[in-house]
C-alpha cells in the first residue's frame, strides 16, 4: 500500500481535489481533452479503488490514466505541468521527436519539476500517430502518471477510419512500488507462481525419460534460472487495466456495424507485456509506434511495454467483441468490449497455457529464422581491451540487418552477469515464447516484426558508417540489470556524432524480453526491406535473440536510452549523447 501520510501531505500541499469532489474512489478512466495547442496539466494524488481495496494513485488532472491529449501535426503546443506532489516530477512525451530540453528526463533534459512549481513545455509537433506520455521520475508511472497522445495527421486519416478508440493498457498494484523493488532484489522470483512442481517433474520424466530430465534440470539449476521466469511482477499483485478499468468492470467502446474502427493500442504498463486478440475479429495493423506501416492482417500481436499499435477492425453485424490482452506469463488479463450496443455481451475467452522458456530463449537455437551469426567470440579472444560497448565496422546492408559476429566485452564477465548467448539468431521473425505455435495449433496468425514495412520510403537511405553492438545483460537471481555488464551509474555515455548514420546491434544475453527505448531519435528497425525501413521508438528484444536498427543522429543533445521495464531501468540504461 502506498504511504498514506505521504500522499495526504501531497494533497494538503494545495490541490484540493477531494474538496472538489473530482476524485471519488472507484475505477477512473482517462478523459479526452478537446483538441488544442495549449494545455494545463496538474499532477496530484487521488484515492482510487481498482481492486476492492482503497489506495492512492498519482493522477493527472484527477484521472488515471491522465487525459488523452489530441494534437495536430505541424502545430506548436504548449503544456504547463504543475506539480502538487511532495516529490520532484516530470513528464516525458514518449515517441515525440522534440528538442532535448523538452524531453522531460530529469538529469538529462532538465532538473525536473519541484513540488509546487510549474514547468512549461513548448515544442512543434512534426509527426502524427499514436503516442503516450508518462512520468520519468521515481515510480510515478507505476502509480498512475501516464496518458495517451493522438496526433492527427495534416492530410487527414490515411486509413479512412470511421471512428477510433484509444486502448491504453496498464498494470496497477496496491503495493508500494519501492517495496516491490526491494522484494525483487531479495527474491527475484517472489511474484512467480508458475514455478515447477512435483507433478511437472513427473510429466517430464514420462515424456523425456529420467536421464534427459536430469540433464535438463541440472542445466537450469546450474544457471540459477527458471524456465517459467517470464515476468518479474505478475498478476499476484497486478490488476491489469484497460483505459483505467479493471477486468471486473471492463471498458466498453461503441461502434456501428460495418464501420472501419481504428483501435489505438498503447502499452502504458510499468512491467507487463501483453498478447492482444479480439475473438471473432481480425485486426489489420496499420501503424507501429505511431508510424504508418503497410497493412498486415493478423489475429494476435504481442505488445511490449511502451510500444503502440494501431489496428483497423470492421464489425460486420450488430454484435459485441471482447478486446482481450493477456499478460505474457498468463497471470492475468485486461479486457474490454467493442460493441454496437451497450446491452450486448461478448464471451470472455480463456487464457492460453503458460509458456515455458527453452533453449531457443537462451540463444542456443540454430534455426529460428532471421540472420545467421558467427559463433560467439569472447572479448578476451578478439578484443583484449574491449570495454563498455563495441564500435565495429558495419556488417550488412542497411535494412537487412547486422551480419556481425557476437563479441562479448570484458565487462560482461563476473557475478553480475549470469548468461551470455552462445549462438543467438535474429528475433525479427520470432513472435516470442508462447506465440510461436499459435498458427499451427490454434489457427491464429501472429504479428512478427519481419512483417512491418514502412508505408513510406526510407527517409535516410545511407549505409551506416559504423556499428555499435550492445548486450542486454543481467543476473536474474540477484536482480541486477545492465548494458554490456555495466550499470547506468558506472556507464559512459554512448557517443554519437551529429549527422552520422549508425547501426545499433542489440544482443539479449538474458532470458527475459526487454523493450528498449531510444529517446529523441528514431530506431529504424531492419526488417528486410531496405527501401521501406519501419521506424520505431521502442523495440522488443526477445530472450536470447538479436535485433538491429539504424539511427540517424540528427538531434543534438543528451538522450535517455533504456529498457522500459520500470524495475530494470536503474541498471539497464545509458545516456546517448549526440554532439
DSSP 347: P
Which pLDDT score, from 0 to 100, does residue 31 have?
Answer: 65
C-alpha 234/C-alpha 243 separation (Å) is 19
pLDDT at 69 > cutoff 50: yes
Its sign, for the CA torsion 436, 437, 439, 440, is: positive
Lowest-confidence segment of 28-42, 493-507, 565-579 by average pLDDT: 28-42
- C-alpha angle with apex 240: 514 to 49, nearest 5 degrees? 135
The tens digit of pLDDT for each residue in 364-420 reads 654 443 333 333 433 334 443 444 455 666 678 999 999 999 999 999 999 899 889
If pLDDT is split at 50, 70 and 90, which confidence band does 210 have? Answer: confident
What is the mean predicted confidence (pLDDT) over 260-266?
98
Its sign, for the CA torsion 209, 215, 219, 220, is: positive
Which pLDDT score, from 0 to 100, does residue 389 have?
Answer: 54
What is the mean predicted confidence (pLDDT) over 561-566?
98
What is the mean predicted confidence (pLDDT) over 335-360?
92
Q: What is the largest CA-CA distance in the chain?
A: 68
Which pLDDT score, from 0 to 100, does residue 379 have?
Answer: 38
Reference 496, options 556, 561, 571, 572; nearest CA is 556
Which pLDDT score, from 0 to 100, does residue 374 have?
Answer: 37
Cell output for 431: 513472435
- What is the full DSSP assignment across 348-385? PPPPPPPP---GGGGT--S-SSS---PPPEEHHHH-TT
DSSP 425: E
pLDDT at 11 > cutoff 80: no
pLDDT at 579 > cutoff 90: yes
Edge-first strand listing for the sheet containing 300-303: 251-254, 333-339, 320-327, 274-277, 300-303
Which pLDDT score, from 0 to 100, does residue 162 have?
Answer: 96
Q: Which residue has the higher pLDDT, 204 or 74?
A: 74
Q: Which residue has the higher pLDDT, 221 or 149?
A: 149
Cell output for 118: 510549474
Reference 339, options 359, 356, 365, 318; nearest CA is 318
pLDDT at 279 > cutoff 50: yes
Which pLDDT score, from 0 to 100, does residue 197 have?
Answer: 75
Q: Is 269 helix (H, G, I), strand (E, B) or coil?
A: coil
The tens digit of pLDDT for each residue in 93-108 reads 999 999 999 999 999 9
C-alpha 110/C-alpha 97 separation (Å) is 16
pLDDT at 63 > cutoff 70: yes
If pLDDT is split at 50, 70 and 90, which confidence band does 202 have? Answer: confident
Q: Is 217 helix (H, G, I), strand (E, B) or coil?
A: helix
- C-alpha angle with apex 13: 12 to 14, nearest 5 degrees? 90
Reference 545, options 575, 515, 509; nearest CA is 509
Residue that the C-alpha cell 527501401 belongs to: 531
**Residue 453: Cβ-neighbour burial (10 angstroms; 0-12, 13-18, 19+):** middle
Which pLDDT score, from 0 to 100, does residue 476 have?
Answer: 86
Lowest-confidence segment of 117-121, 289-293, 405-409, 458-462 by average pLDDT: 405-409
Which pLDDT score, from 0 to 100, does residue 497 have?
Answer: 98
Strands 274-277 vs 320-327: parallel, antiparallel or unpaired: antiparallel
Q: How many CB atoms lie within 10 A of CB 207?
A: 9
Which strand (E) or helix (H) includes residue 287? strand 283-288
Instruction: Give long-range contacts, CB 8 A cutoff, 24+ apart: 110-115.
Output: 112/88, 112/137, 113/43, 113/81, 113/82, 113/83, 113/88, 113/89, 114/83, 114/88, 115/10, 115/13, 115/83, 115/84, 115/85, 115/86, 115/87, 115/88
What is the mean predicted confidence (pLDDT) over 205-219?
78
Reference 288, options 442, 515, 494; nearest CA is 515
- What crossing angle do the helices spanning 198-208 and 210-223 adopt, rounded to 10°? 130
Q: Whole-number mean pLDDT of the chain?
A: 88
Which pLDDT score, from 0 to 100, does residue 67 have?
Answer: 96
Which pLDDT score, from 0 to 100, does residue 32 have?
Answer: 66
The tens digit of pLDDT for each residue in 13-49 reads 333 333 333 333 333 445 666 667 899 999 999 999 9
If pLDDT is split at 50, 70 and 90, which confidence band does 359 have? Answer: confident
C-alpha 172/C-alpha 104 separation (Å) is 23
Which pLDDT score, from 0 to 100, does residue 491 have?
Answer: 96
- Count Cα atoms within 13 angstroms, Cβ side, for 82: 12
The residue count of the chain comes to: 579
Cell output for 166: 484509444
Reference 313, options 345, 349, 276; nearest CA is 276
Beta-sheet strands, E only, within 382-536: 390-392, 407-408, 425-426, 466-475, 480-483, 494-496, 501-508, 514-518, 523-525, 535-536
pLDDT at 146 > cutoff 80: yes
Which pLDDT score, from 0 to 100, does residue 4 have?
Answer: 36
Lowest-confidence segment of 128-142, 211-225, 229-243, 334-348 by average pLDDT: 211-225
Residue that the C-alpha cell 542456443 belongs to: 364
C-alpha 301/C-alpha 5 separation (Å) is 42
C-alpha 473/C-alpha 302 separation (Å) is 22
Q: Cβ(517)–Cβ(574) under 8 Å?
A: no
Residues with Cβ within 8 Å of residue 512, at least 6 apart in sequence? 229, 230, 232, 474, 476, 543
Cell output for 557: 543533445
Which pLDDT score, from 0 to 100, does residue 212 have?
Answer: 80
Q: How many CB atoms lie within 10 A of CB 34?
A: 7
Which pLDDT score, from 0 to 100, does residue 36 have?
Answer: 76
Q: Cβ(335)–Cβ(322) under 8 Å?
A: yes
Lowest-confidence segment of 268-277, 370-379, 522-531 by average pLDDT: 370-379
Q: Cβ(233)–Cβ(567) under 8 Å?
A: yes
Which pLDDT score, from 0 to 100, does residue 199 have?
Answer: 77
What is the mean predicted confidence (pLDDT) over 232-249?
97
If pLDDT is split at 50, 70 and 90, which confidence band does 565 have? Answer: very high
Q: Is 260 helix (H, G, I), strand (E, B) or coil?
A: coil
Amino acid at each position: 500500500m502506498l504511504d498514506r501520510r505521504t500522499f495526504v501531505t501531497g494533497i494538503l500541499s494545495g490541490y484540493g481535489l477531494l474538496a472538489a469532489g473530482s476524485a471519488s474512489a472507484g475505477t477512473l478512466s482517462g478523459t479526452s481533452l478537446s483538441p488544442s495547442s495549449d494545455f494545463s496539466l496538474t499532477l496530484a494524488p487521488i484515492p482510487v479503488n481498482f481492486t476492492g481495496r482503497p489506495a492512492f494513485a498519482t493522477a493527472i488532472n484527477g484521472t488515471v490514466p491522465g487525459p488523452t491529449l489530441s494534437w495536430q501535426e505541424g502545430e506548436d503546443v504548449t503544456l504547463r505541468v504543475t506539480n502538487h506532489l511532495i516529490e520532484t516530477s516530470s513528464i516525458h512525451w514518449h515517441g515525440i521527436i522534440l528538442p532535448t530540453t523538452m524531453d522531460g528526463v530529469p538529469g538529462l533534459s532538465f532538473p525536473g519539476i519541484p513540488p509546487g512549481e510549474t514547468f512549461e513545455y513548448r515544442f512543434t509537433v512534426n509527426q502524427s500517430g499514436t503516442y503516450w506520455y508518462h512520468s520519468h521520475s521515481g515510480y510515478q508511472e507505476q502509480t498512475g502518471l501516464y496518458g495517451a497522445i493522438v496526433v492527427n495527421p495534416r492530410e487527414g486519416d490515411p486509413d479512412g477510419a470511421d471512428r477510433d478508440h484509444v486502448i491504453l493498457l496498464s498494470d496497477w498494484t496496491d503495493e508500494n512500488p519501492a517495496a516491490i523493488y526491494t522484494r525483487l532484489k531479495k527474491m527475484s522470483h517472489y511474484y512467480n507462481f508458475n514455478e515447477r512442481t512435483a507433478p511437472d517433474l513427473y510429466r517430464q520424466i514420462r515424456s523425456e525419460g529420467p536421464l534427459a530430465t536430469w540433464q535438463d534440470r541440472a542445466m537450469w539449476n546450474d544457471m540459477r534460472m527458471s524456465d517459467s521466469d517470464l515476468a518479474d511482477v505478475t498478476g499476484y499483485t497486478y490488476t491489469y487495466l484497460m483505459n483505467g478499468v479493471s477486468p471486473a468492470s471492463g471498458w466498453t467502446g461503441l461502434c456501428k456495424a460495418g464501420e472501419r474502427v481504428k483501435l489505438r493500442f498503447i502499452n502504458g504498463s510499468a512491467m507487463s507485456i501483453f498478447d492482444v486478440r479480439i475473438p471473432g475479429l481480425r485486426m489489420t495493423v496499420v501503424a507501429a509506434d505511431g508510424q504508418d506501416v503497410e497493412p498486415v492482417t493478423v489475429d494476435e500481436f504481442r505488445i511490449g511495454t511502451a510500444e503502440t499499435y494501431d489496428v483497423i477492425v470492421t464489425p460486420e453485424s450488430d454484435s459485441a467483441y471482447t478486446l482481450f490482452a493477456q499478460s505474457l506469463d498468463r497471470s492475468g488479463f485486461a479486457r474490454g468490449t467493442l460493441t454496437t450496443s451497450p446491452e450486448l455481451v461478448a464471451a470472455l475467452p480463456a487464457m492460453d497455457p503458460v509458456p515455458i522458456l527453452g533453449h531457443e530463449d537462451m540463444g542456443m537455437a540454430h534455426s529460428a529464422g532471421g540472420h545467421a551469426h558467427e559463433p560467439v567470440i569472447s572479448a578476451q579472444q578478439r578484443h583484449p581491451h574491449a570495454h563498455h560497448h563495441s564500435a565495429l565496422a558495419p556488417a550488412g546492408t542497411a535494412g537487412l540487418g547486422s551480419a556481425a559476429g557476437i563479441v562479448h566485452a570484458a565487462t560482461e564477465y563476473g557475478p553480475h552477469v549470469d548468461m551470455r548467448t552462445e549462438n543467438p539468431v535474429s528475433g525479427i521473425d520470432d513472435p516470442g515464447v508462447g506465440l510461436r505455435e499459435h498458427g499451427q495449433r490454434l489457427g491464429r496468425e501472429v504479428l512478427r516484426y519481419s512483417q512491418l514495412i514502412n508505408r513510406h520510403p526510407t527517409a535516410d537511405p545511407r549505409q551506416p558508417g559504423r556499428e555499435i553492438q550492445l548486450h542486454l545483460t543481467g543476473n536474474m537471481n540477484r536482480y541486477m540489470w545492465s548494458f554490456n555488464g555495466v550499470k547506468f551509474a558506472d556507464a559512459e555515455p554512448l557517443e554519437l556524432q551529429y549527422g552520422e548514420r549508425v547501426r545499433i546491434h542489440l544482443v539479449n544475453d538474458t532470458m527475459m524480453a526487454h523493450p528498449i527505448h531510444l529517446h529523441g531519435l528514431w530506431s529504424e528497425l531492419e526488417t528486410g526491406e531496405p527501401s521501406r525501413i519501419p521506424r520505431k521508438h521502442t523495440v522488443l528484444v526477445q530472450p536470447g535473440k538479436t535485433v538491429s536498427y539504424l539511427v540517424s543522429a540528427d538531434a543534438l543533445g543528451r538522450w535517455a536510452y533504456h529498457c522500459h521495464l520500470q524495475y530494470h531501468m536503474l541498471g539497464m540504461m545509458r545516456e546517448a549523447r549526440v554532439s
